[in-house]
Amino acid sequence: MVDTLETLAGVLKEKGFNVTHQRLIIYRALMESKDHPSAEDIYNQVRQTDPIISLGTVYKSLEMFENLGLIQRVNTLYHTARYDADMSPHGHIVCRKCERIMDVFWKEPPEFPLNKSQKHGYRIDGMSIHYVGMCPECQKKKP
CB within 8 Å of 53: residues ≥ 6 apart = 22, 25, 43, 46, 47
For residue 92, the 8-state DSSP code is E
User: How many Å apart are CA 99 and CA 117, to the nearest integer?
Assistant: 36
Q: What is the pLDDT of residues 34-86, one digit of tens each?
A: 889 999 999 999 999 999 999 999 999 999 999 999 999 987 677 788 999 99
**Tens digits of residue pLDDT in 84-111:** 999 888 889 999 888 889 999 888 777 7
Domain at 87-138, CATH from 3.30.450.370, 1.10.260.40, 3.30.1490.190, 3.40.50.800: 3.30.1490.190
Domain 5-74 = CATH 1.10.10.10? yes
**Is 0.85 topped by the overall pTM?**
no
Residues 82-113, buried b or exposed e (16+ Cβ, 10 A)?
A: bbbbbeeeebbebbeeebbbeeeeeeeeeeee
